[in-house]
Structure 1
Amino acid sequence: MTKGAVNATLCAPVAGQLNALTTIDDPVFSKGLMGVGFAIDPTDGAIHAPVSGQITMVAETKHAVGIHTASGLDVLLHLGIDTVELAGAPYELAVKANDQVIAGQPIVTMDLAAVKKAGKATTVITVITNTQALHLQIFLKATGVTVNANDVVAVATNPEVALSSADDVVSTDDAIAVAATPASEASAVGDGQYDQLAHDIIQGVGGAVNVNNLIHCITRLRFYLKDEAKAQTAKIENLDGVIDVTKAAGQYQVVIGPAVSDVYDAVIGQLGPQYAGDGAATTQPLPAKDQPTTPWGKVKQGFSSLIGVMTASMVPVIGILAGSGILKGILAALTGFKVLSTTSGTYMVLNAVGDATFYFLPIILGFTAAKKLGSNPIVLAVVGGILVYPNLIQAAGKAATAQITVLGLPTHLVAYSASVFPIIVAAWLGSHVEKWLKKVVPLALRSVFVPILEALILGLVVLIVVGPLITVISQGLANAIITTYNFSPALSGLVIGGLYQTMVIFGLHWSLIPIVINDLATNGHSYLNALISVTMVAQGGAVLAVFLKTRNKKLKELSLAAAVSAFCGVTEPAIYGVNLKYKRVFIVGSIAGALGGLVAGLLRVNNYALSGSLIGFPAFITPDVGIGSNFYSYLISHYGTLLISTVAVYFLGFSDKMVTKKAPASAPTES
C-alpha cells in the first residue's frame, strides 16, 4: 500500500436493512455533507462498533459516537434522526471517550420503542467524516438487503488503491459504488458560492451533532454548540472566507464579514431549518452571567444595543449610500465649475438618482430595522413613508404650517428625509406594539386591522413625541453652537468638529442645516458649513486608514468606497459601515475632526455653497476674488485634518484584531 492509501472494511453496527445514505430523510447525511457511508434500519437495539479504533467522541445526549481508526478514518455512528432532542433517554452507553474498541464490540444499547414513541426515525447511520481529506470512495453490498450485526458491508478506499483490492473483500457481483466522488471533485460540495465554506465550517465546529442552534449578525455566524471543546478553532480560522473565530456570551462566533448572510444561508441549507435561530441577532438576550449589574453597565449595554441595531439596519444600504454620495459629490463639483446648471434636465435627473436613497431613507430603514428587531417590515416601511410624505415634508419646511394639531395634541412637524434615529425607535416600538395588538384584536380581524393600527400608532408616536423631542434637543444644540461661534470661532470649531458626526447618528444635525442655508441665502457664505465640512474629511480619513491597514479583503473594499463617499460629502457609509462598528475608529476620527475644526475656526475658513469635504473645494473659492487666502485656509484645515485622522487611526485607532474583539457584555449586539 502506498503512502496515504486507504483500504478499510466497515461492519454493520446493527442488524437490519442496509440502505444508501441517499435514502435518509436528512439533507446533511443524504447529500453526503458529513461524508460517505451507509444507513441501517435496525431490527434490534444492540449497537456494535463498525470498526476498530479509539473512541474520540461520545455525545452528551448519547446518540452519537465517534471512532478513529489506525488507518486514519474518522467514523461517526449516529443513532436515529433528530434524536438529539431526546436528551439521551433511549440510550445506554458501554464505552466512554478514549476507550479502545474492536470491530463488533457492543458499545450502545438503543431503545427502539422509545425512539419510535417520540416520533423519531431509528435509522443507524455510519459515515466517515474525513472523507474529503482522504479522497475516499465507498463500496457497499447491494442496498435493500438484510444484514446481521458485524457483517462486513462496505469497503472505504481512495484512488491510490486499485479497485481490485476492494474486490478482495466485497464481490463486484453485489457491490455498488455509493457516493463515489472522483478525486478531482472530492473537495467540491454543492454548486453554490459558499457551499464548500459552509460544509468546512460545519465540520470544524464538530459537525451537525455538536450544534444546538445558529444565528448571525452583521459579520458573524454565532453558533450555540453542545461542546465548544469539540470545535477545531485553528482549522476554521485557516479557511478561505473566515476572518477569525472568537468566543463570547456562550456563543462560538465565526467571523465572516459582509458575506455572512450568504454563508449563513448555505450553512442552514446543509444543517436543516431546525437549526436556524432568530435572525435578529441584535435582540438576543445575554446569558444571566453576562448581564450587567451596575447602572453604568446597563447604560453601556443599552447604548451598545442601540448602536448594534442602527449599524445592522444600515448595512444593507451602505453600498447604495456610498454610490449616491459619490454621485452627489461629482454633481457638486460639476455645478461648482459651471459645467452643469442646477436647472438643467441632466442635473435634475442625476440629482434624483443620487438623492433618492437619502430622501427615502426612513422607508428603507423601516424595512431593514424591522427585520432586525422582529417587527413587521412592510408596516415599518409604511411608517417611514408617513415620515417623508410630501405634504408633511412641505408643511414642515414653512414656519406658518409646521405647527399643527393632531387629535387635539399640538405637534411640531419635522422634515424626516435622510433621518435615521426616529424610524429606528419606531421599529423597536413596533416589535412591542404588534404583540399587544395581536392580543387584543380578534383572530378573524388581525390580517386587516393589526397592520393599519400598528402603522397608525407608530406614525403618531413618532410625529407627536419622538420628532418634537428631537427638535427641542437639536434646536437647543443649534442655539448653543451659534452662541459659541459668536463667542469664539476656534472654540466653536473644536466643539462642532468633535460632535457633529455624533449628531448625525441621532438625526440632531438637521437643526444646523437651516442655519447653513439661511447663512448662504442671506450672507452668501457660511462659516458653520466650513466646520461641518471638516468633520466629513475627518471621518473619511478614519475609514481611509482602515482601508490602508486591514488585510480583510471585504473590509478593505467597503472602507475604500466609504472613504470616497465621505470625501464627496456623504459620511453615512463610513459611519455605519465601518467607523461606528469599530467604535475607536469613530472616536479617533471625531477627535481629529475636533482638531481640524479648531484650525478651521482659527483660520476663519468660509464656505460659499451648500457643498463641502474634498470634492466640494469649489465652494471655498471666494466669489469675485478667486483662489486666495480662504482657499489656502481650506487646504490647510481640510488636508491637515485628513492627515491627522488617517495617521491617528492607522497607528492608534484600528487593528484587524478589532474585527473580532468584543466585550462580553455587548457581544450579541455588535457585528
Structure 2
Amino acid sequence: MTQTPQGPGSLAEDIVRGVGGAENIESLTHCATRLRFQLHDGDKVDRGSLDALQGVMGTVPQSGDRFQVVIGGAVASVFQSIMNLPSMASGGTAKPKSDADVKAEIRAKGRGRFAWVDNFFEYLSDSFRPLLGVLLGASLIIAGAAVLDALEIVDFRAADKSATWVFVDAMWRSVLYFLPIMVAYNAARKLNVDGWLGATVMAAVMTPEFAKLTSAADTIPGVTCTTNATLGTDQCVATVFGLPMQLNDYGGQVFVPLMMIPLLALLYHGLRRIFPENVQLVFVPFFSMLIMIPVTAFLIGPLGIWLGNGLGVGLAWLNGHAPIVFAILIPMLYPFLVPLGLHWPLNALMLANINTLGYDFIQGPMGTWNFACFGATAGVLLLSIRHREKLMRQTATGALAAGLFGGISEPSLYGIHLRFKRIYPRMLIGCLVGGITIGVLGGVNTEVFAFTSLLTIPVFDPMFKYVIAITIAFFTALVAVYFSDYLTKEERAAANAQRDADEAALRGDAASPVARERELVGAGVVAAPAAAAATSTTTPADASAPSGTASVVAPGSAEAAEVGTGAADEISSPVAGQVVSLDEVPDPVFSSRALGEGVGIEPADGRVVAPVDGELISVAETGHAFGIRTDDGIEVLIHIGIDTVQMKGAGFDVAVAAGGRVRVGEPLVQVDLDAVRRAGYATVTLMTVTNTAQFAAVEARTGRRVAAGDPVVVVRR
C-alpha cells in the first residue's frame, strides 16, 4: 500500500514528536522555507523519523540545540498547525533552570568544533531573513518599472521624470535605502539587544542633518571636501569634537550595521550588568547611544564602507580581467552556499556594488545558477508526469512555481535536489554551461537588487544576453535530468513496480492482494482485522437524510451484512448548539483543515462533554482544548472558542486531567460563555479529527441544531 499523504495537522504532531515533544521545545520560529527550533535537548531529536515524513524536505541540525526542519512553501501553515496543537499550550516556553543547568547548557553549546562558524552565519542569515518579503516586493516593483521602460512607455533613466514616476522610485528605494536600519534591527534582536536601539544608532548617520554635512559643506564651518581625480568623486571630512570624521552616504550600506551591532551588544549587555534593573530603561539606551553613535560615525561607518568597497573592487577586478572565470565561479559556488545559508554575504556585496558603482555584476551570473536549479526541477516534474508519481509531481510543481515566479530556490533544493544524489551533478552542468555563456557574451549588469525570476528579467542589461544564458542553463539542466533520470535503473524499476501495485489496489483489481482480502472479508471467508471489527459499518446515505450525512448501523445487523466492508465510526457533538461548516469558522487554521476535517458548533450552553470513548492525550492548562484518542486510533481535538487561550483559564472549570479515560457524554469542562464574550472572543466550539489523512473519508453533518451527544461527524475507513 502507498503511504497515506499527511495533512498539515498530523504532520504537525509528527514533527513535534520527532523533536522530542512539546516539552522539549524552548522556542519555534520560521522563515520562508524552514521551521527553526530552539530545543532544550538536541539529543532527543529523532532525525530519521523526521526525514521520513511526507511534507518534510529535510532536516538541518545545528550547534547549541538548534534544529531546522525544512518544509518549503507550506512552512507558515505547518508552523500555525504546530502552534495550535493542544500539546503546545504548555510547550514552547523556557523551563526554569538552576545554576548547574545554565552552566551545563553553556558547555553544551560549545560541543560542536565549529560552533562559532554556525553562529556567525546564523547571525548573517537572521539579519537578512526577515526582510525576504519586502526585498521580494521591492524586486517586483522594480521589475514592473523595468518592463515599462523596456516597452518605452516611461524612461526611468531620464533626469526630468514626472512626480508620479519619481514617487514609484521611492516605493522600491524605501527598502534598499533604509536597508541598513532594518538589518540593524534584526541583527540587534539576534544578539538579544533592543532592536529599536540598534536601528536608532544606524539611523543617526542617515538623518537629513548628517546628510547636510555633505550636501551643504560649503556653508558649514569645519567641513572640507576634496575631489578624487581618478574616480571623479567628492570626499568630505568634518571636524567634530576636534577630530576628523569621514562623511559617507550610508544608504544601502549593510556592512556597517553588521559590524556595528556586535560591538553594541557587548556594550549593551555590559551596561545592563552595571545599572540596577529599575533604572536600566533610561540609562542603558542613553549611554549606548552616547557611545555607539560617535563610534559608528567616526570608526565603524568608514571601515564598513571601506570593507564593502574593497570586496566589491576585488570581485570587479576579477570580473574585468577574467570575466569567464568570474562568470563560471559564481553559479558553480551558489549551489553549495545556499543550502548552508552562506549566500547572504554575496547578497550584501551586490547591494554594496549598487551603492558604490551604481550597478552590480554578480546577479547576472547568479541568475544562471537559479535557472539551472529550476531546470533540474522541471526535469523531475516531467519525469513524475511520465511515471505517474503523484507526490513528486506535487512537490516539483510547487517548487518550480516558487522558483520561476519568486526566484526562491530552497523548495527545489530541499524538496528534491538534495534528496537524490543524481540531480546535483546534472544541475551543475547547467550552471557551468550558463556561466560560460554569460562570460563569453561579455557579462550582464543590473542597477537594482532583484530576485532572479521570470518577472525580473527586464532589470538586466543587456537583457538579450541574460535571456540567452538563463535559457541555456535551464534547458541544459532539464535535459540532463530528464534523460538520465534522478533514480538509478534499479530504483526506477522498483518504484514503478510499487506504483503499479498501489494503483491496482486503489482500482480494486482482482489481482490485487488488498482487493482480494477485501473480497474474502466481505464474503465472511476470513475475519476482518480487529480494529475494523470493533467499529461500525455503514450503508449508503438514506435518501431522506440531508446531503452530506450517512446512516450508521450496528455490526451484525442485516444492513451491515449487505455492506460487508465499509467500516465507519460516529463522533458525537461535545456541546449543544447549531452545527456549522469549518468554512464558516473565523480561524484560518481550522477553516483550512490544517487540523483536520470536522465541524464548528455555536454553543447553546457552556457544558462540554466527551464526543468519543478514549484516552485524554492532552488537556490544555487553560481548559480551552482537549485531545482524545479512541482505542482504534481516531484522534479528536475539541477546541472551545477562538483565541481563548488568551483568557489563561478564566471562565473554564476543567473536570478531567490528561492521561485519564473518558466515555461519551462525560463532562470535560464547564465554560462561562458570557465571560468569553465579554473578553471579546468567539464562542464557537471546534471539533476536528486531527489524523483525517489516515482515513478514507471524514464527513461533517452541518446545518442543524443538535444536543450534546448527537452524531455530527462520520469517520470512514
Structure-2-length-normalised TM-score:
0.46
Structure-1-length-normalised TM-score:
0.49
